[in-house]
Amino acid sequence: MDKLSDVERIPQQRLRTEQTLGNQRSSILTALSGRMVDLQNSMKALNGETTDVFAARRATLGTANSTWAATAGAATETGTYSFAVTQLATKAQRIGAINAGSALSATADVSGVTIGTMPIGAVITPGDFTINGARIAVASTDSLQTVLDRISTATGGAVTASYDPADDKVKLTSSAEIVLGSANDSSNFLGTLQLFNNGTNEVLPPKALGVVSVNAAISTSNLRAPITGVDGSGNGTFRINGVEIAYNVNNDSVANVLSRINASSAGVTASFDRANDRFTLTNKSTGDVGIALSEGAGGFLGALGLTAGATLARGKNAEFSVDGGPTLISASNTLDARVHGITGLAITARSQTTETVTVGTDNTAARARIDDFIAKYNAVQTYIDEQTKSSTSTEGVVTKSPLASNQEVTAIGSALRARVFAAVPGLTGSIQRLEGIGIDFKAGSSQLEVKDSAKLDAALANNPTEVTTLFTSKPGGLVAQLDSYLKQVTGSTGTLATQTATISRQSKSIDDQIAAMERRITQQRDLLTQSFIKMEEAQSRIQSQLQALNNAFGGSSSR
């Protein structure tokens, strides 16, 4: 029965083969549609849906390796311009008073000031240092007073070290020249306290020692001026250029608030100069504009020295001229049409000098998009050729591609060739078809190529308007014609979709036919099985009857 069923299934195998071929054709049609969509996207780029690619401009600086930068837009007139910059724009700064930090001690006794935690410009490393050849040890746990006393002891009283709270400095005095340091000192004590040789009997640091501890809580940050303009919980506010900044003296560090200023819309950058122990606000933009501060008495900005005692270093506006004309003013060093009047041209000046800027056509983007269009067009034609070709071997064996007999797909390739070869209707200039810009078919093939690269580059440089019209004129431009046709082919009712839908219906019909065949085979098998069973039952009964007869008559007949 199995062999009989296999024979009955031979038509199913033919149907399956037909269905597999149909599915293969469907996949090919889908892939072809994808290549056509790629071609459409390439044409959109040529059509200038995002930028006018054929009107692109390039700005070139006359000085080799110039630090300047220049860009030009599609509407920039070609030509050469001379920019003479006599002043660059700078940023305004509000520079706080120096010595914003409190002194190390209110009195000359610094026995309560610990070396390892002193609020000074750098950390003192433990070790030894030398004065007049005598070595003095210093540890992080020592008080400053202890170390000062050791200096006197080590030098036998020849050098006296003291702290002056009035100017917040450590002073060394002697009756003879003081010589500081040696090549093998292991501690930076002298340098950190700004004590350097001067060839005299007195050494005094150039500036105060105490600085602001910006990473500590504001309330313990060693600010010289106390912050009193806060509520009972330590909350306060101030404004920079009208933008309010909040802080809490117990929970925020000075660094936190500086970061908050920098991240705000106040338009300034707040920074701390540890060397001079002062704070600075710098405008983020250049130009002669001020920095407005507002807060109550005893506030944060005042404690940082940014109000009373601060100075405003005004920013400068850029001053320049174009082609020897009058002096023009710009708040920025980027000089654009708003200040010089040349549409689309932007110059970023980085030095006070004269620079020439030449604006010409930029063929780079246009050429790249034309090359991409050719590549995408050729990909469609190559795929059609591969899937519709037939070949005959030397033995006479014919091999056909899956779509070899599909005249509609073959017609697509012919239609595309006709459209890219034809002249664009309505054009009267020297460029009316692709051949006019050096593009034509490779001999004996459906493939486009740039046959004359110089001709294409010349057309892009000298006749950009005609090239633009060739590709983008509506409704008859090359892009419009191809796009209209491709939409018909790839659309929901187009050739590819219709064929794919037909193949899908055929595949479904084959499934239905095979299912019907399988039901008949199953029914026939069941009938044969039942008949076989009945036959076996009949044979069994006959054998039983025969056995009974043999048993009944077998004995007497043997005698």
* pLDDT surpasses 70 at 119: yes
Number of domains the chain is built from: 3
Q: Return the pLDDT at 9.
A: 64
Residues 395 and 349 in one domain: no
Reported as a pLDDT band with limits 50, 70 and 90, residue 331 is: very high
Q: Return the pLDDT at 494.
A: 81
Q: Return the pLDDT at 48.
A: 65
Q: Return the pLDDT at 529.
A: 74
Residues 355 and 389 in one domain: no
Whether 556 is covered by a domain: the verdict is no
Average pLDDT over residues 94-98: 96
Write down which residue in 488, 510, 538 finishes a domain: 488
Cβ-in-10-Å burial (0-12, 13-18, 19+) of 68 comes to buried
Q: Return the pLDDT at 555.
A: 52
Q: Return the pLDDT at 277.
A: 94
Reported as a pLDDT band with limits 50, 70 and 90, residue 345 is: very high
Write down which residue in 138, 173, 203 finishes a domain: 203
Dist. CA 107–CA 93, nearest whole Å: 35
Q: Return the pLDDT at 558.
A: 46
Residue 358 contacts residue 80 (beta carbons within 8 Å): yes
Write down which residue in 203, 222, 245 finishes a domain: 203
Q: Return the pLDDT at 83.
A: 98
Whether 209 is covered by a domain: the verdict is no
- Best-predicted range by mean pLDDT (54-63, 103-112, 424-433): 103-112
Average pLDDT over residues 405-418: 91
Residues 437 and 396 in one domain: yes
pLDDT digits (tens, 9 = 90+) for 499-558: 888 877 887 877 778 777 777 777 777 776 787 788 887 888 888 888 887 888 765 544
Q: Return the pLDDT at 3.
A: 57
Whether 115 is covered by a domain: the verdict is no
Residues 411 and 354 in one domain: no
Written as six digits, the tokens of 177 are 């020249």
Strand 346-348 versus strand 334-335 pairing type: antiparallel
- Best-predicted range by mean pLDDT (148-157, 362-371, 482-491): 148-157
| Domain range enclosing 38 | 26-52+364-488
* pLDDT surpasses 90 at 365: no
Whether 303 is covered by a domain: the verdict is no
Which among 219, 225, 214, 226 has a CA at the least distance from the CA of 249?
219
Residues 68 and 159 in one domain: no
Strand, helix or coil at 144? helix
Cβ-in-10-Å burial (0-12, 13-18, 19+) of 23 comes to middle
Residues 399 and 350 in one domain: no
Distances (CA, A) of 247 to 260, 274, 306: 9, 22, 16
Average pLDDT over residues 193-211: 96
Dist. CA 104–CA 106, nearest whole Å: 7
User: Residue 524: enclosing H or E segment and its boundaries?
Assistant: helix 495-558
Q: Which residues contact 540 (CB under 8 A, 6 or more apart)?
A: none
Residue 132 contacts residue 155 (beta carbons within 8 Å): yes
Reported as a pLDDT band with limits 50, 70 and 90, residue 215 is: very high
Whether 144 is covered by a domain: the verdict is yes
Lowest mean per-residue pLDDT among 219-233, 278-292, 314-328, 542-556 = 542-556
Whether 198 is covered by a domain: the verdict is yes
Residues 77 and 147 in one domain: no
Residues 397 and 476 in one domain: yes
Residue 496 contacts residue 33 (beta carbons within 8 Å): yes
Average pLDDT over residues 364-387: 92
Longest dimension (CA), the chain: 165
* pLDDT surpasses 90 at 343: yes
Dist. CA 252–CA 269, nearest whole Å: 18
Residues 143 and 171 in one domain: yes
How far is CA 150 from its chain centroid?
A: 60
Q: Return the pLDDT at 23.
A: 83
Dist. CA 342–CA 80, nearest whole Å: 11
Dist. CA 93–CA 283, nearest whole Å: 6
Q: Return the pLDDT at 559.
A: 43
Q: Return the pLDDT at 532.
A: 76
Residues 380 and 451 in one domain: yes
Reported as a pLDDT band with limits 50, 70 and 90, residue 12 is: low
State the amino acid at position 164 in one-letter form.
Answer: D
